[in-house]
Amino acid sequence: MRLALALAAGVCCAAPAAAQEYVLAMTYETGTEGGADGASSAASGRQAIAERVLALTLEGAELEYTLPSDPEEVRGNARWMFPARVRVVGDGSMALLNADELTARADAWLAEMEWPREVCSRWTFSWAAYQIRCDAAAAVETVESYGMQPGRIAAGQPFALKGALGPVVLERSGEAEGRVILTGSGPVDVAFLREEDTRAALVVAEVGREALTPEAAAAASAAIAATGTVSVTFAVDAAGMVWRREDVSDYTMTGSRWRDGHTRARTTVTRLTRAEWERQQAEREAEEDRAEPLADPASR
């Protein structure tokens, strides 16, 4: 019996005899075209997290999330965030179960870095920009960013899709490998793009130690206009477990942070997959990643 089935049915199940283990992998690609000289740019990256089903109970599913590589090899917040144990209820919401443990690890990490607690919430740069987080709740936010625990999803239901103007309605569009394919799309939310542009400008200013107030950043982003769509596709098994998710945003935008009056087209594709995971395979992949490091997992 899969995790989602136990949640949906509300039945009590003991911990699996052999704990189920999965790897959640995320890849993303962003391409931008347009501007004064017609130039284009692209960026991509990947990251992963391990998920272990510890128990299925009336209160929900108890899961443990860990890093696929040695935390000592990881930059940023992930050094202290994992392992994190959470309880997931039927609507997909998560509650942290080992907050005290994470808080103690965060304090040890700050001491190791020789940072005072005043640095918490600030942005810094190590391979890529990341926000220094010292609160245990940040671990839940990191897990939620993988988007593979959306709660009960089914055809005909509205789904709150980040970046879209209002919820999108999921429709059944077929089957693949015995899993139902659900899709939904809606117009891009210009207010969301303005907020993201404001946030990015403030991060760049903070990392570069430049003076910029939130009011000034928001005023500069207010002129953004955009048209386009945001869509999501899920592959869900008979028990309701999500095995694949793909988010696509495709829009044209003017008035962005370049402030040059030119229109740019941007497409971002984020793919998330779940796979049953063997420890030996994970260790081999972690060793390969250490030999050829990719983007900092804490720098999304």
- Mean pLDDT of all residues belonging to the chain: 82
Between 47 and 74, the higher pLDDT residue: 47
**pLDDT level of residue 104 (50, 70, 90 thresholds):** very high
Q: The tokens of 27 are what?
A: 């890849």
Q: Where are the alpha helices (DSSP H) in 47-136?
A: 78-81, 99-113
- 22 with 51: CB under 8 angstroms? yes
Lowest mean pLDDT among 187-201, 217-231, 258-272: 258-272
- 248 with 230: CB under 8 angstroms? yes
Provide the pLDDT for residue 255: 82
**Res 269 pLDDT > 60:** yes
Among the listed residues 23, 8, 25, 4, the one whose alpha carbon sits nearest the alpha carbon of residue 245: 25
Residue 89 is inside which H or E element, if any? Answer: none
**Res 123 pLDDT > 80:** yes
- Beta-bridge mates of residue 105: none
- 290 with 69: CB under 8 angstroms? yes
Provide the pLDDT for residue 278: 64
**Res 63 pLDDT > 90:** yes
State percent of the chain over pLDDT 70.
79
Instruction: Round to whole Å and give the CA distance between 245 and 164.
Output: 16
Provide the pLDDT for residue 239: 81
**Res 9 pLDDT > 60:** no
Provide the pLDDT for residue 147: 85
